[in-house]
C-alpha cells in the first residue's frame, strides 16, 4: 500500500509546479477514479469470460454475452465504454494525430470525453466527474507523463470489494495530503480522521437515516461505512443524506462515496444549507436518526432570516452562524435521533449576540447529552481549539441505552489526549478514541458498554456527569473544565507540610543563585570599555 501511495503522490508532483493545489487535486483525484473504474471493469470482464467458457460457450457466444451491462452493475462495477477504458487512453497518452481529415486531439480532450462517457453510462455519477483536462493551464505533456505513472498502479486483483477498500484508502490519503497542501482552504473539505471517528464511535450510526448538512468530501459517511463493516453490518442498513456548498467539494464527495459503494443522496447540485435546505423531507418522524457535522467555524456572513422556523431556541446572531448550525441540525433529528457536531471552543461559553440565551434554552430542553473538549492542533488548517457537542432527543432508559440520563449532561475533558505527529499537528490514537467513546457508552449504558462490561464513574480531571441544576448554577457554560475538576495527584508519601517547606527552600535557593549570577554579569559589563 505504501508503494502505491508513493507512486500516486509522485504522479501528483508531475503537475504540482504548473498549477495550484486546488486544481491539481481535481486532476489527480479524477484520474485515480477513472483508473479504478477501468481496472475494476477489466477484472469483472475477465471473470465473466472465464465463467462463460466454463459453461462450454464458444468464442462467438462469449463475445455476445460479455457486454451485458447488468453483469457489471449488478456486482457493483461501473460500466466503462470503450473510449473511457484506461488501455485506450494510455495508448494515446501523447494525443491522437489528425487522421482522415479529423483534427488532432490532445490527451486532455480524450480524458474529458472519457469522463463524459462514464457519466452517461452510469447515471449515479451524473455531474460528478471533473472535465478540466483540456484546459489551457493543464500541461498536456505532463498529463501524458502522469498517465504513464498511473499505468503501474493496479486497484484490482483481489475482487471488487478489496479494490474498493484499496482505492478508498488511497483516495482518503490524497484528501489528507491535499488538505495539508492547501492549508486553511483544505479544512473546507477535510476533517481529520481522528475527529470524525470520535463522532462515529460515540454515536454508533448503525441504522436509519444519516445526515451531514455540510458534508465536505464525505468523510463522515465513509467512516460510518467503516463502522458498519467493523460490526459486520451492511451499508444498506443506512440511508445517506448530505449537502455541500462548494461545487468542487460536492463533486469530490460524490466520487468518494461512489468509490466506497455508498448510494448517497447529496441532492442534484451543491447549495447553501441556510438559504436552501435541499433535504426538507428530513423532519419530524421522518427526520435523521443520526447527524454528524463539522460546520465551518464562526461564519460572519451567512444567509440569515429572523423568521426562519429552525430558530426554535433563539435567533442566532448575524455575525456568527455557530448556533444556526446547531439549531438546523436539531431541527433535522427524528424523535429518537442523536447528533454530533464539531464546534469552536467559544461556542461552549459565548454570551455575545444572544448565544448564551440560546445555549440555556438548549440545556433546559434537555437536548445536550455530552460535551467533549478536544486537544489543540488536531486541525492543521486552523489553530482554533475545538470541541464536540452531542445531542439526543431522548435520554431516557431504553432510547439508546439502559441508563436513564434525563436531566444530565456528561462532560469529558480530553485536552490532554493525543500525541504530536509532527511540529504542527496532533493526532488521536485508537486508545484515545476508545477512551472517549467508552466513557460515553458506559455513562449511557449502551449495548456496546454492557458487552464490554464497562461501568461509569466520575473521574476527576477527565469526566463528570452534571445535572441541569449544576449547569444553570454555572450560568449555562458548557466547558468541561468547569465540571470535571483537577485530576487526583498521586500520593508520593511525603507529608504536605514537609513538601511545601522543601519546595519553598529550593525556590529561595534559586532566587539567591539568580541574584548572585546577576551581580557577576553587572560586574563584567562594568569592565567593558564603551
343: Cα separation from own chain's centroid: 14
268: Cα separation from own chain's centroid: 22
* 93 and 148 assigned to the same domain: yes
* 319 and 435 assigned to the same domain: yes
Of 147, 176, 205, which residue sits at a domain end?
176
The per-residue pLDDT for 233 is: 83
Q: Check which CATH number belongs to the domain holding 296 and give it.
A: 3.40.50.150
* 229 phi-psi bin (left φ>0, alpha ψ -120 to 50, beta other): alpha
How far is it, in rounded angstroms, from Cα 453 to Cα 438? Answer: 10
How far is it, in rounded angstroms, from Cα 433 to Cα 421? Answer: 16
Q: Cell numbers for 469, please give them.
A: 441544576
Of 116, 147, 176, which residue sits at a domain end?
176
138 CB-near residues (< 8 Å, 6+ apart): 15, 18, 19, 27, 108, 132
Structural domain contains residue 324:
yes
Of 141, 176, 211, which residue sits at a domain end?
176
How far is it, in rounded angstroms, from Cα 355 to Cα 270? Answer: 29
* 145 and 51 assigned to the same domain: yes
* 413 and 327 assigned to the same domain: yes
Give SS3 for 118. Answer: helix
Structural domain contains residue 10:
yes
* 167 and 282 assigned to the same domain: no
How far is it, in rounded angstroms, from Cα 47 to Cα 54? Answer: 11
Say if residues 214 and 244 touch (Cβ distance below 8 Å).
Answer: yes
What 482-486 contacts at long range (C-beta under 8 Å, 24+ apart), as own/partner pairs, is 482/411, 483/411, 484/411, 484/412, 484/413, 484/458, 484/459, 484/460, 485/460, 485/461, 486/460, 486/461
* 231 and 378 assigned to the same domain: yes
Structural domain contains residue 49:
yes
Give the DSSP letter of residue 96.
B
Q: By C-alpha distance, which of 327, 335, 315 is closest to 277?
A: 327
> In tens digits, what is the pLDDT along the chain, a chain of 530 residues?
666 677 667 666 666 666 666 677 788 888 888 988 888 898 889 999 999 999 988 888 888 889 999 989 888 889 999 999 999 999 988 888 777 667 789 999 999 999 999 999 998 888 889 999 998 888 888 888 888 877 766 665 555 455 556 666 777 777 777 767 665 554 556 788 899 999 999 999 999 999 999 998 898 999 998 899 888 887 778 999 999 998 888 988 888 888 777 888 999 899 999 999 999 999 999 999 999 999 998 999 999 999 999 999 999 999 999 999 999 999 999 999 999 999 999 999 999 999 999 999 999 999 999 999 999 989 876 778 899 999 999 999 988 899 999 999 999 999 999 999 888 789 999 999 999 999 999 999 999 999 999 999 999 999 999 999 999 999 999 999 999 998 765 666 677 788 788 888 888 888 888 888 888 888 888 777 65
* 247 and 124 assigned to the same domain: no
Structural domain contains residue 144:
yes
Residue range of the domain that includes 501:
495-525
Kindly give the pairing relationship between strand 288-293 and strand 208-212.
parallel
Output the CA torsion 103→106→108→111 (10° steps): 70
Structural domain contains residue 489:
no
Structural domain contains residue 530:
no
Q: Check which CATH number belongs to the domain holding 108 and give it.
A: 1.20.1260.30
* 205 and 102 assigned to the same domain: no
How far is it, in rounded angstroms, from Cα 354 to Cα 443? Answer: 31
* 370 and 516 assigned to the same domain: no
Structural domain contains residue 244:
yes
Total tally of structural domains belonging to the chain: 3
Angle at 403 between CA 402 and CA 408, to 5 degrees: 145
Structural domain contains residue 64:
yes
* 59 and 136 assigned to the same domain: yes
How far is it, in rounded angstroms, from Cα 78 to Cα 122? Answer: 7
* 138 and 264 assigned to the same domain: no
* 76 and 118 assigned to the same domain: yes
Q: By C-alpha distance, which of 175, 185, 192, 217 is closest to 376?
A: 192
Write the CA distances from 310 to 273, 315, 370, 429, integer angstroms.
Answer: 12, 9, 22, 37
407: Cα separation from own chain's centroid: 31
527 CB-near residues (< 8 Å, 6+ apart): none
Amino acid at each position: 500500500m505504501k508503494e502505491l501511495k508513493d507512486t500516486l503522490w509522485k504522479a501528483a508532483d508531475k503537475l504540482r509546479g504548473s498549477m495550484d493545489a486546488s486544481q491539481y487535486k481535481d486532476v489527480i483525484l479524477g484520474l485515480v477514479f477513472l483508473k479504478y473504474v477501468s481496472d475494476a471493469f477489466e477484472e469483472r470482464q475477465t471473470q465473466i469470460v472465464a465463467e462463460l467458457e466454463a459453461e462450454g460457450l464458444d468464442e462467438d457466444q462469449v463475445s455476445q454475452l460479455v457486454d451485458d451491462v447488468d453483469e457489471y452493475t449488478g456486482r457493483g462495477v461501473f460500466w466503462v465504454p470503450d473510449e473511457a477504458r484506461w488501455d485506450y487512453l494510455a495508448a494515446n497518452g501523447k494525443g491522437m494525430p489528425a487522421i482522415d481529415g479529423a483534427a488532432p486531439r490532445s490527451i486532455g480532450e480524450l480524458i474529458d470525453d472519457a469522463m463524459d462517457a462514464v457519466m452517461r453510462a452510469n447515471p449515479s455519477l451524473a455531474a460528478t466527474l471533473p472535465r478540466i483536462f483540456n484546459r489551457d493551464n493543464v500541461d498536456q505533456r505532463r498529463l501524458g507523463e502522469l498517465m504513464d505513472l498511473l499505468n503501474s498502479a493496479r486497484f484490482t486483483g483481489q475482487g471488487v470489494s478489496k479494490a474498493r477498500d484499496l482505492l478508498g484508502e488511497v483516495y482518503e490519503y490524497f484528501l489528507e495530503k491535499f488538505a495539508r497542501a492547501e492549508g486553511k482552504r483544505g479544512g473546507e473539505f477535510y476533517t481529520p480522521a481522528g475527529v470524525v471517528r470520535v463522532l462515529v464511535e460515540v454515536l454508533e450510526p448503525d441504522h436509519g437515516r444519516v445526515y451531514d448538512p455540510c458534508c465536505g468530501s464525505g468523510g463522515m459517511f465513509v467512516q460510518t461505512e467503516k463502522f458498519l463493516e467493523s460490526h459486520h453490518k451492511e451499508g444498506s442498513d443506512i440511508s445517506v443524506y448530505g449537502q455541500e456548498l462548494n461545487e468542487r467539494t460536492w463533486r469530490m464527495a460524490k466520487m468518494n462515496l461512489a468509490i466506497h459503494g455508498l448510494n448517497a443522496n447529496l441532492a442534484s447540485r451543491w447549495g447553501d444549507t441556510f438559504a436552501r435546505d435541499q433535504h426538507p423531507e428530513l423532519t419530524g418522524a421522518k427526520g435523521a436518526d443520526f447527524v454528524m457535522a463539522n460546520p465551518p467555524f464562526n461564519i460572519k456572513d451567512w444567509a440569515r432570516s429572523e423568521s426562519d422556523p429552525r430558530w426554535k431556541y433563539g435567533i442566532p446572531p448575524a455575525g456568527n452562524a455557530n448556533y444556526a448550525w446547531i439549531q438546523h441540525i436539531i431541527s433535522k433529528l427524528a424523535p429518537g435521533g442523536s447528533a454530533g457536531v464539531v464546534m469552536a471552543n467559544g461556542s461552549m461559553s459565548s454570551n455575545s449576540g444572544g448565544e448564551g440565551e440560546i445555549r440555556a434554552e438548549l440545556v433546559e430542553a434537555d437536548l445536550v447529552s455530552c460535551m467533549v473538549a478536544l486537544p489543540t492542533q488536531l486541525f492543521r488548517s486552523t489553530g482554533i481549539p475545538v470541541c464536540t457537542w452531542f445531542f439526543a432527543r431522548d435520554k431516557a432508559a431504553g432510547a439508546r441505552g439502559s441508563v436513564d440520563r434525563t436531566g444530565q449532561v456528561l462532560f469529558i475533558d480530553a485536552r490532554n489526549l493525543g500525541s504530536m505527529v509532527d511540529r504542527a499537528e496532533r493526532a488521536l490514537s485508537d486508545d484515545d478514541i476508545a477512551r472517549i467513546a467508552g466513557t460515553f457508552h458506559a455513562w449511557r449504558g449502551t449495548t456496546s458498554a454492557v458487552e464490554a462490561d464497562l461501568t461509569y464513574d466520575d473521574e476527576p480531571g477527565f469526566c463528570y456527569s452534571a445535572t441541569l441544576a449544576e449547569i444553570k448554577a454555572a450560568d449555562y457554560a458548557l466547558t468541561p473544565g468547569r465540571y470535571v475538576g483537577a485530576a487526583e495527584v498521586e500520593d508520593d508519601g511525603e507529608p504536605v507540610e514537609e513538601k511545601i517547606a522543601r519546595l519553598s527552600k529550593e525556590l529561595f535557593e534559586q532566587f539567591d543563585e539568580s541574584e548572585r549570577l546577576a551581580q557577576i554579569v553587572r560586574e563584567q559589563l562594568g569592565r567593558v570599555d564603551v
